[in-house]
A and B are shown apart, each in its own frame.
Chain A
Amino acid sequence: MMGSKLVALIVIVLGVIAIAQLVRVYELSSKLRNRGEHEISNRDNRLNAKMMLTFMILFYLGFIYLIYKFGWTGRGDAATLHGRELDWLLNLNFIIIILVFFLTNTLLFVFAFKYVRKPGVKAFYYPHNNKLEMLWTVVPASVLAVIIILGLKNWNETTSHAKKESIRVELFSKQFDWTARYSGEDNTLGRFDYKLTTDANELALMTTETIDSAIFNMENGPTGIKSLESKLNNRKVIMVPEDREKMENDLSRKQRLIRLLYQMKARHNSKIDAQAWDDIIQKDTLYLCVNKEYEFNFRSKDVIHSAYFPHFRVQMNTVPGMTTRFKFTPDVTTKEMRKKKNDEKFNYVLMCNKICGGAHYKMKMMVVVLPEAEYTAWMNGKKKQTFRDAYFAAAAATTAPAEGAAPTDSLAVKVDTLSVAAK
């Protein structure tokens, strides 16, 4: 409330001042009618020249104040290996551009001040000078060459593929949250296909069971093909034409998908199931081990998001239909960083940095970097909650209440559970 009132007040006060000024300025200028509006008086000229210099000084003071007050706030030191290199390069670039900024802006405003028209002084006719022009082509070009070489060297190292033994983790994004998937014992992320998405399998991982259950869902689920067909064919049900059309579209969409699912089932090799079963799905907080190299894969369920870890100097878009990647090695634990920042509540964070809808700004995940011992302890706890455990627990939970309605379903799942346990 206060804020908007304050704004309204400022608007009104400034508006009144502005209008008063308008009137006054106009009166003054009409008094000076004998002077044409296009003839700039020496007084006005000099006044504006002085303003140029004053503006420059205030501008610089403002800049220096901002650097002093906020220059290192928020950003802090990088917390990854490549981040340190990157920050070094960033600082070097900043030194160069800030020097150029001061040099050229100073020349500009000082010239504007110094060479303002003076009675009796004629401008210096100076149409060109090839040597000078050569100078300011070659000097920027050489500086840029250095910038490009250093930049590309850093870029190649940062974007190169991770070592084989680096830990593989996947980040799955959707409107408006993140889910992490650790690759488990085998350090291999299980395969996925978006068509396998069900309530029990949000990340659409590919195993013999998940394919079967996706097919089952698509055919027999509450809005599955069979239920749609029976509704559409039931003459007793009267539907609004729009609703009927919607339902028909839904049906044809699902019929196309089911064909693809059956193809997938036919081609599926059950040997790769294990890759997915041992994966560990983690929500809310992402735990990482200090000084370990990570190879991150990124996926999106719906629209483009961007995985942005500001403190790690990591950013990569997540794109529906393709997998993107980034590797990094966190080398400062959360505890150490808290001490460094003198902020007990500080946390690393993963934010969404690509516009993705209304709650875009809330889409984030806390990140905690642990010392190795603590990380191992946490991971050991997690190993009892692999995808296999979570999946069958969820499948059992969702089918249990429906037992009366479709006893065969739950039986099927139970059999599955047993068969998997037997493996």
Chain B
Amino acid sequence: MAAVAHEAHGHHDAHGHDHDHGHHEESFVSKYIFSQDHKMIGKQFLMTAVFMGLVAMLLSILFRIQLAWPGESSDFLSFFLGETWAPGGILKEDMYLGLVTIHGTIMVFFLLTGGLSGTFSNLLIPLQLGARDMASGFLNMLSYWFFFLSSILMLASLFVESGPAMAGWTIYPPLSALPQAVSGSGLGMTLWLFSMAIFIASSLIGSLNYIVTVLNLRTKGMSMTRMPLTIWAFFVTAILGVLSFPVLLSAALLLIMDRLAGTSFYLSDIIVGGEMLTNHGGSPILYQHLFWFLGHPEVYIVLLPALGLSSEIISTNSRKPIFGYRAMIGSILAIGFLSFIVWGHHMFVTGMNPFLGSVFVFTTLLIAIPSAVKVFNYLTTLWKGSLVLTPAMLFAIGLVSTFITGGVTGIILADSALDITVHDTYFVVAHFHIVMGMSAVFGMFGGVYHWFPKMYGRMMNTRLGYAHFWITIVGAYGVFFPMHFVGLAGAPRRYYDYSVYNEFDSGSYDMMMDLNVIITIFAIIAALGQILFLFNFFYSIYRGPVAPQNPWNSNTLEWTTPVEHVHGNWPGELPTVHRWPYDYSKPGSDVDFIPQTVPLAEGEEEH
């Protein structure tokens, strides 16, 4: 199959040779804007995601200020939100919900789905497989521009007069269906739904492209079991996306119908704002089933690429093969499969039949097994390694820590009986921010530090990278770790003001007020720490030292391409692969790495 692909792209080879003679004419527009080159598209995804991530982070700081100092006037709030949403510097209740909703939406979909998978799948799939480009450059370009358009719509919804969507990032109807119930369910919610519909289109086009590329465009010798774990992770992620995002689209479409066409998919027997609605027979639970059928695989759509990136980073910088390569592939596949049959664990207390709940308890807890395998394999990879602690490596190690810390609390939440007391409390907020948010963000940062030389041909500043890592891990754990305790005390999430506790439990009240201040201070520190990253990132794009071809002494194919980007990736013929990508410190070899392009020596066994 790979050989066929090689043939099919023969014309690219010729094109590649042209580079030696004269530069192929490319206009500014086709090179930087409507580019069909996977490397440029990857960078476009990254830039957009960085911007979206910053917006979402700012939103979180705004509502954290309200939580730490409820009812106190803040110049910061009035500066960003003005008199409409923060009269006198005090956040409005409705806007609090709006901020929470858009923060969650942007972080989950735009930063960690579009940004993470979009950036690194685009950059690395062709480079690590030895392909000239994606299977369809044009669809790839469309995927980015749909993503861009949906980002614009989502941001625009923040400026709507009646406010952005305010029903939480899960937008459960009827709240999200009825403008009478909350002001954000008007135009803001319409924009949210259209933005997400376009986002889903972008994600689908992208994912299909990734799948086809992985299956068809592997270079000679690159069998499936010689692919780096990054590619395996992107591949399974893309399959999850293709199978689950259409279900979210149908959920969104039905909601659009309920809102605009008067249908009753999710609505039944409702009186809102003094108005008796005629809708009858729909079920809000139906929406939740559809939403979480995407929603849970989505968690792994976010997480798997991060795990893939960290596998590569940890192996390279431990100077050791990843331990249990096949078990790692197996656990990626197992996690991918199981992620489709666990969605009900988000719905234990929705009134869903308890028997159905018990089935989901069983399937959900099964996921802990492949996850445990992954953790122990990472640990064994580090064991007796020769660790080079690059900033990327620090973030990858941080990822393993957050994956453990956030993962173990999942065992509590997956157990329906125990979930009764902590469902929808800050315990959940702590859990998913650590296991999904921190892990995926750490994976993304690790990826940026590691592959920056490949993206921009320059090096990022290492010392700033160190400072950035340490501030981020201390800040982020400082934010999310205390939340477990707030949650165990019973604090519901999405509350505008926890001083309501003063009315019935002064002990809890004191604790929540104290911890909320601490959490907010850590959040501000962590947010400021990102300035280091931004400075380092943009500065290094223009002024960083020029990167060597293979800065980390890595085995994978992307480091055999020239530092200067060329269209078609390799100026000459495509490389041929002779071994797996993890021959680090192999006995019998003088150097501690053997790139995949090096043929097996006489009598050498493949791993």
> How distant is the Cα of A133 from the Cα of B592 in the complex, in angstroms?
25
Instruction: Give chain B nearest CB distance to A48 CB in angstroms.
Output: 4
> How distant is the Cα of A21 from the Cα of B379 in the complex, in angstroms?
34
Q: Is A25 on the interface with B (CB-CB < 8 A)? A: yes
**What chain B residues lie within 8 Å of A147 (beta carbons)?**
365, 411, 415
Contacting residues of chain B (125-167) with chain A, CB-CB under 8 angstroms: 166-167
Interchain CB contact under 8 A, A151 and B416: yes
> How distant is the Cα of A247 from the Cα of B207 in the complex, in angstroms?
48
Q: Is B253 on the interface with A (CB-CB < 8 A)? A: no
Partner of B464, one of A25, A66, A325: A25
Interchain CB contact under 8 A, A97 and B417: no
Q: Is B223 on the interface with A (CB-CB < 8 A)? A: no
Instruction: Give chain B nearest CB distance to A177 CB in angstroms.
Output: 13
**What chain A residues lie within 8 Å of B69 (beta carbons)?**
2-4, 7
Known: A21-B467, A141-B369. A86 touches B485 (CB 8 A): no
Q: Is A352 on the interface with B (CB-CB < 8 A)? A: yes
Interchain CB contact under 8 A, B182 and A86: no
Q: Is A164 on the interface with B (CB-CB < 8 A)? A: no
Stretch of A115-123, A370-378, A393-401, A411-419 on the interface side: A115-123
Interchain CB contact under 8 A, A357 and B417: no
Contacting residues of chain B (266-284) with chain A, CB-CB under 8 angstroms: 267-272, 276-278, 280-284
Known: A108-B397, A155-B358, A349-B504. A117 touches B388 (CB 8 A): yes
Contacting residues of chain A (23-62) with chain B, CB-CB under 8 angstroms: 25-26, 28-29, 33, 36-38, 40, 44-45, 48-49, 51-52, 55, 59, 62
Interchain CB contact under 8 A, B508 and A4: no
Q: Is A10 on the interface with B (CB-CB < 8 A)? A: yes
Stretch of A234-242, A275-283, A287-295, A307-315 on the interface side: A307-315
Contacting residues of chain A (176-235) with chain B, CB-CB under 8 angstroms: 193-195, 197
Stretch of A264-272, A316-324, A382-390, A402-410 on the interface side: A316-324
Q: Is B216 on the interface with A (CB-CB < 8 A)? A: no
> How distant is the Cα of A5 from the Cα of B460 in the complex, in angstroms?
35
Q: Is A341 on the interface with B (CB-CB < 8 A)? A: yes
> How distant is the Cα of A306 from the Cα of B349 in the complex, in angstroms?
9
> How distant is the Cα of A139 from the Cα of B284 in the complex, in angstroms?
40
Partner of A89, one of B182, B283, B318, B418: B418
Instruction: Give chain A nearest CB distance to B513 CB in angstroms.
Output: 11
**What chain A residues lie within 8 Å of B470 (beta carbons)?**
51, 55
Interchain CB contact under 8 A, B387 and A11: no
> How distant is the Cα of A90 from the Cα of B413 in the complex, in angstroms?
10
> How distant is the Cα of A355 from the Cα of B182 in the complex, in angstroms?
11
> How distant is the Cα of A4 from the Cα of B66 in the complex, in angstroms?
9
Partner of A3, one of B68, B357, B397, B607: B68
Partner of B528, one of A15, A100, A125, A126: A15
Q: Is B194 on the interface with A (CB-CB < 8 A)? A: no
Q: Is B390 on the interface with A (CB-CB < 8 A)? A: yes
**What chain A residues lie within 8 Å of B92 (beta carbons)?**
358
Q: Is A356 on the interface with B (CB-CB < 8 A)? A: yes
Q: Is B542 on the interface with A (CB-CB < 8 A)? A: no
Interchain CB contact under 8 A, A352 and B492: yes
Q: Is A144 on the interface with B (CB-CB < 8 A)? A: yes
> How distant is the Cα of A28 from the Cα of B72 in the complex, in angstroms?
43
Q: Is A335 on the interface with B (CB-CB < 8 A)? A: no
Interchain CB contact under 8 A, A346 and B453: no
Partner of B585, one of A108, A111, A124: A124
Interchain CB contact under 8 A, B269 and A361: no
Interchain CB contact under 8 A, A29 and B361: no
Interchain CB contact under 8 A, A128 and B327: yes
Partner of B424, one of A45, A154, A349, A354: A354
Interchain CB contact under 8 A, A25 and B467: yes
What 0/1 readout, one digit per residue, does chain B (520-556) give for beta carbons within 8 Å of chain A?
1100110011011001000000001101100110000
**What chain A residues lie within 8 Å of B168 (beta carbons)?**
355
A-B contact count (CB 8 A): 438
Range class of the A interface residue count: 35 or more
Instruction: Give chain A nearest CB distance to B89 CB in angstroms.
Output: 7
Q: Is B94 on the interface with A (CB-CB < 8 A)? A: yes
Q: Closest B residue to A192 by CB, please name it.
A: B269
Interchain CB contact under 8 A, A11 and B545: no
Q: Closest B residue to A174 by CB, please name it.
A: B271
Interchain CB contact under 8 A, A366 and B473: no
Q: Is B400 on the interface with A (CB-CB < 8 A)? A: yes
Interchain CB contact under 8 A, B489 and A126: no
Interchain CB contact under 8 A, B284 and A154: no
Known: A40-B389, A123-B385. A59 touches B477 (CB 8 A): yes
Q: Is A420 on the interface with B (CB-CB < 8 A)? A: no
Interchain CB contact under 8 A, B462 and A37: yes
Interchain CB contact under 8 A, B75 and A156: no
Partner of B496, one of A15, A52, A115, A361: A361
Interchain CB contact under 8 A, A117 and B423: no
Interchain CB contact under 8 A, B508 and A73: yes
Interchain CB contact under 8 A, B417 and A155: yes
Interchain CB contact under 8 A, B500 and A361: yes
> How distant is the Cα of A97 from the Cα of B382 in the complex, in angstroms?
22
Q: Is B362 on the interface with A (CB-CB < 8 A)? A: yes
Q: Closest B residue to A100 by CB, please name it.
A: B408
Q: Is A107 on the interface with B (CB-CB < 8 A)? A: yes
Interchain CB contact under 8 A, A320 and B65: no
Q: Is B445 on the interface with A (CB-CB < 8 A)? A: no
Interchain CB contact under 8 A, B459 and A37: yes
Give the residue among A7, A118, A316 with the most B Cβ atoms within 10 A.
Answer: A7
Instruction: Give chain A nearest CB distance to B540 CB in angstroms.
Output: 9
Contacting residues of chain A (329-371) with chain B, CB-CB under 8 angstroms: 341, 343, 345-349, 351-362, 364, 366
Known: A74-B490, A359-B93. A63 touches B481 (CB 8 A): yes
**What chain A residues lie within 8 Å of B167 (beta carbons)?**
355
Partner of B382, one of A115, A129, A175: A115
Instruction: Give chain B nearest CB distance to A353 CB in angstroms.
Output: 4
Closest 5 CB pairs of A and B: A74-B489, A321-B268, A3-B69, A4-B74, A310-B490
Can you list 8 A-B pairs, Cβ within 8 angstroms, ordered by A?
Answer: A11-B528, A66-B481, A101-B404, A122-B319, A123-B385, A319-B285, A347-B504, A364-B500
Residues of A at under 8 Å CB distance from B? Answer: 1-5, 7-8, 10-11, 14-15, 18, 21-22, 25-26, 28-29, 33, 36-38, 40, 44-45, 48-49, 51-52, 55, 59, 62-63, 66, 70-71, 73-75, 83, 86, 89-90, 93-94, 96-98, 100-101, 104-105, 107-109, 111-112, 115-118, 121-129, 132-133, 136-137, 140-141, 144, 147-148, 151-152, 154-156, 158-159, 174-175, 193-195, 197, 253, 256-257, 298, 301-304, 306, 308, 310-311, 313-317, 319-322, 324-325, 341, 343, 345-349, 351-362, 364, 366
- List 6 extra interface pairs beyond A126-B320, A348-B504, A361-B498, CB under 8 A: A98-B408, A144-B368, A175-B272, A302-B174, A320-B284, A358-B182
